[in-house]
Structure 1
Amino acid sequence: MASNSFPNCFMVLLMLCLLLPLSATARTNAALRASTISTAPAVYILGDSIADVGNNNHLLTYLKSDFAHNGIDFAGGKATGRFSNGKNSADFIAEKLGVPSPPAYLSVSSSPNSSTAFLNGVNFASAGAGILDSTHNGECLSLNKQISYLSITYAAIAQQIGEEQAQQLFAKSIFAITIGSNDVFAYVKSKGSNSTPQQLVASLISNLQGQLKGIYNIGARRIVFIGVGPLGCTPSQRRKSDAESCDDVANSVADLFNQAVASLLQEMKSQNSDMNYSFYNTSLALLEIIQRPSNYGFSEVKAACCGLGELNAKVACTPISSYCSNRRNHVFWDFVHPTEATARIIAADLFDGSSPHVFPLNLRQLSAL
């Protein structure tokens, strides 16, 4: 028996030596997976054209993008209803969370299996939408309408999997909201004839407070709010200036709005201990890109890639528009919307960035709670 013990011990030691590197590799791979995959089971999107993935395709509206040259860099090279050359912020948020990009609500709501689709997340965003119902009234799904559809979605899910499981699903999911730009644009277009910037923002926040409370009451507990960008620096506003400079009024209103939203979310958190949130200051983050474009791989910050006229911003991106050959070096795709490249950078910053861009939690931290 003694003569057989050494070979047996040797084989055990050999196997341990072979397994140890594999175990270390497995641990490393597990750590990498943990660093990129969140605990959020789904993402629900509400907002405007920054996040619309095709809801307006199903509406009788002129606010559409389901035609060339939109989608030129999307899978298959076809327009989907996204106001982008490729993916938009909703796609990248889902990608960062490790979940499928949710479908447009109006594309699945009438499906026999809609409640099953709802379990994996839904996108309610609609181009032209605003906080105020009067913003592009009749041309889009207002934020209030989107919230009503969210309520319908929750009811369908609860009917399928039960109330308790539906509550747990919503409590763990991410609710991403991007809204306000169209309300500000409408104010700038009217030249503030009826109110001051402070009065406008006060009105928007008063409405938004009730809307966010409605989303919370439906079951949302992890909320991401993506603030409006530096709207005065979009090609549509720059072309109004002989010097092609940013419009200070539009930028100042955007800043006021972002500050007010951040305060509103903080107040909501103080009143609802089970709610957590991320606020992303798009205006601040995008201005840094515009002011130091080479640091982010851009060379064109004023002109749109796709359009016609001065700065390619007199006419929106249409099949008869010209478009740039290199979409990667443009910050803006059309007269107001970012390119896929810009949306990717913003989403990455939202996911892993820090204050003053994103606070009090970034999206990775929020989704891991």
Structure 2
Amino acid sequence: MKWIPLFLIVVAIPSFSDTTRTDNIKNFNAAQKCYNNASLYGQKRITCAQDALNAGLLIFEDSNPNIIFLTHNLAMSHPRLSGERYEFLQRALKLSEELHGDESIELIDLLMDLANEEHENRYINKNYKRASDIYGHEVGRESLGYAEFCLQISEEAVSYLNTKGRLRTSSRYAELASEIFLEQLGRSSDGYGKANLRLAKNQLAIRKHRKAIPYLKNALDSPIVSKYARGFLVTVYDRLNEPALAASYSVSIDSRTSGNKNTPYEVIFKNIPGHIGRNGWAEVVYTITKLGLTDDVKVVDGSGRLAKKALQKAVSEWRFTPAYIDGKAVDTTGVIAEYRWKVHQR
């Protein structure tokens, strides 16, 4: 389901002599304008979204798609992993089920949003599975569209939290995507490369370096993914104390970074801390080496020992394309990473 902007009510609603209804429409228009102009996160956006929903409930029927849209807006205005966001997403899903039915493709985005907010494995799997079942029934489980959707789930499953349960879920859907891409498009397809790169990242996130190697080698045949796979192979063999193999996979500087061109570093992979408790924050400073690895990772501050340790561990796994000066890769020192989180409790 693709959310579309809800435009201000100007022409769609005819003129009414009833003053109360006219006031409701004015209040709705003002709230929508406030919402659209507010920053992406913050109390003002939440207040405007709530005002728009309140006014909308006085104008539209409960079963109107606009109410679902407004409820979803209010949910997404609240912080990630907050109880309020989760509660309003559930409400929007229930309204959508009542309007479209339990098996409608219109439910998919809401199911994905709910799954992304979950931190209990049984609910994560339930919502992702339901979304994939609906989509698979719509497009066919052997189709490239279904493979792309499984790949999307594998990425989104670890986009908020990086727990072992989420990593298992991510890997399961990446495996499904990999099989379909291989059968339909072959080893050199970008989809096959991306699925295997995700499988490798999930292994690296739990420090299973040797298990990541076959997936990284599978990704080498994709022109787009190969440079990232090579970068990770350098990292893996470096960690395994096999410098000759690490050197054999070193990514050569292409023509775009040769000569006197100066380029900043670019992110290849960033995972987020796992096993970090329900809320907290941490800040670390680190160096990005000329090989694109992180080094000299030091804790600056944080809300507790576990928070600091979790972020320090996550940053040690991050990978970059290094910065170049006059066509040569250089270290970048003093890079700062800060991460804050709050996980809802039901």
Normalising by the residue count of structure 2, what TM-score does the alignment of the two structures yield? 0.29
Structure (1/2) with the larger helix percentage: 2
Normalising by the residue count of structure 1, what TM-score does the alignment of the two structures yield? 0.28
